Amino acid sequence: MRPSPTSARSHVAAFLEMASAERGAAKNTLDAYARDLEDYVAFLKARGTNPAGAGPDDVRAHMADLAERGFKPSSAARKLSAVRQLHKFLYADGYRTEDPTSALDGPKRGRPLPKSLAVSDLERLIAAAGDPGPEPTPMARMRAARLACLLELAYGAGLRVSELVGLPRSAARAGASAVAVKGKGDRERLVPLTPLAKQAMTDYLAALKDCGREAEGPWLFPAPSESGHLARQVFARELKSAAARAGLSPAKVSPHVLRHAFASHLVQNGADLRAVQQMLGHADIATTQIYTHVLDERARAMVRDLHPLGDG
């Protein structure tokens, strides 16, 4: 057995290092693990133990504590997943002789259907996003063209928000029919571009040039941020503002809802589920199968509307 790390902090640090180096976990994933495990370590410390000494009763007590603190089953399940992975790592690498989470059940949770938007709502949203106002400045025109471009790409290509804001400038090269996207685990995939998305990129780059912010830098959506590109939070904020202008509830509109709409509308119109899986970048077809709910709804509607006894 390997020597145990000297502190709870080093248990977590060793796990995060492994997740980054061996699994290629993204920064957002590592940050989420760190937050969830910090909470777990603090709970164990209050009980006089740490991850190297925790038993099944300690893990159960942690889950009960989360429930008492009002965490939803989905959030508690995510936190338990981080705890499980930490203990599997400590066991596999010889820091412990057993895994205290191996026989534990997770919190019961339903699988919510993905939220989406009607095509008519998306048309209103894109129109509102691309409107720079009655007397726009070059900067206002650029921001409107940028938001319209982001929307066309999010809905037209089904990109994750981190993939979207981090697109390289080369994504807008002339004549491109698809864009190469680096997704979770650094897996790369090709996503087709719609004519509307290609035109939106052309219009946006022209507006960017008109306000004197053309050319240099690697990003399609440059910004004065630490990363050098537009922050996810800025896109989400501008999207909700456009939703309000379009007469839609801002609470029902988010970058992820656009990705769900992309997949739901494709499946509803007969797209092959494997093709949708590849475009979304899902590693497992089971993740994509949630979008078959639109087929279930359509089947129910057909029975209701077309079957002779449908009104019965």
Which residues does the annotation mark as catalytic?
Answer: 160, 184, 256, 259, 282, 291
Residue 143 near residue 132, CB atoms below 8 Å: yes
Residue 288 near residue 295, CB atoms below 8 Å: no
CA distance 199 to 114: 29
Q: Which residue do the tokens 């004197």 mark?
A: 212
Q: Cα 260 from chain centroid?
A: 10
Specify the DSSP class assigned to residue 180.
Answer: E
- CA-to-CA dists, residue 253 to 119, 121, 137, 182, angstroms: 13, 10, 27, 24
The residues, any chain, with a CB within 8 Å of residue 151's CB and separated by 6 or more, are: 122, 125, 126, 129, 200, 239, 242, 258
- The DSSP string of 208-270 is HHHTT--S-SSBSSB-SSSSSB--HHHHHHHHHHHHHHTTS-GGG--HHHHHHHHHHHHHHTT
Q: How many CB atoms lie within 10 A of CB 300?
A: 11
Residue 168 pairs in a beta bridge with 219
Residue 45 near residue 95, CB atoms below 8 Å: no
Residue 156 near residue 194, CB atoms below 8 Å: yes
The token duo for 99 is: 């895994």
